[in-house]
Chains A and B, each alone.
Chain A
Amino acid sequence: MKKLQLLMVCGAGLGSSFACQMSVEDVVQQFDLDVSLDHTDISSAVAMRPDIIITAENFKTQFEKYQIEEKIKIIYLKNIISKKEIAEKLLPVLKEKGAL
């Protein structure tokens, strides 16, 4: 099966999306999942067609304006580096995608 692609997103695609990626990495490692992780800015995110987008709550209205394919799931976080919050919100989506 093709690896699931998880994309962390913030305004410039540099700092906070990267911090988020490192936390997500810890979470997926706990469950021994082989997924691909990357981070980018909000302008490029949708065009990269990942399976799951993980971003901060404040970007919600922005994403709602985009036309997004149904297969792309978006997860909004309040604390983007909280492993607890990431696990809570990410695991159901991973199950749905059949990765867990």
Chain B
Amino acid sequence: MGLGDILPGGGVSATTGGFGAETPTFFTSKVDALINWGRMNSLWPMPFGTACCAIEMMASAASNYDLARFGMERMSFSPRQADVLICAGRVPYKLAPVLRRIWDQMPQPKWSISMGACASSGGVFDVYSMVQGIDTIIPVDVYIPGCPPRPEGLIYGLMMIQEKIREESLSKHFEHRAEDPALVALPRASAAEVVGLTGPFGNSTQQDQLTGGIIVAPDTVPDDLLS
């Protein structure tokens, strides 16, 4: 009875309250709110800007759309001092290890935004040199569609990150921040997932999706077409 019944996490008593893997308490939720408020209002973005989306990111930081009102005007170009990686623009395979390395260099807590169609899925560029979505390389928290997204779109995405932070809890600290050291600096998605991410044609119009071999017989044509 008492507070334990109405707080999230069910019955908790003073003996199990506190940080760590136990269920949250009233005290921890206040501390969570304070910490989350601090984190979300002073995010330091790491602008990994490559192409056109980077220009829209710069326009968001300029006076008309002004990221400074979110506490994000300090664009940190050193990943060691950054909180949120904004990958703005297309990422070719030559740049992929650089992106991965920068992501690995960011200390926890960190979040990432994939800004634009090219970062989210490869965009217009389903070609030999382009990464088909940076979520094959790094974990992504928020995807912002658009080519390029308007500054309002980027701001909305940043606000979604803020929402995500607001929902975090210190008692789930290890869940949020978990990173398997064995998987760091390797592609995030497995081979089958990566291939599956590139759409119905696999890698090329003639290549089989998983094996990479050349299909000799064409795909069967659906029989509900008129011609």
Q: Say whether A and B bind each other.
A: no
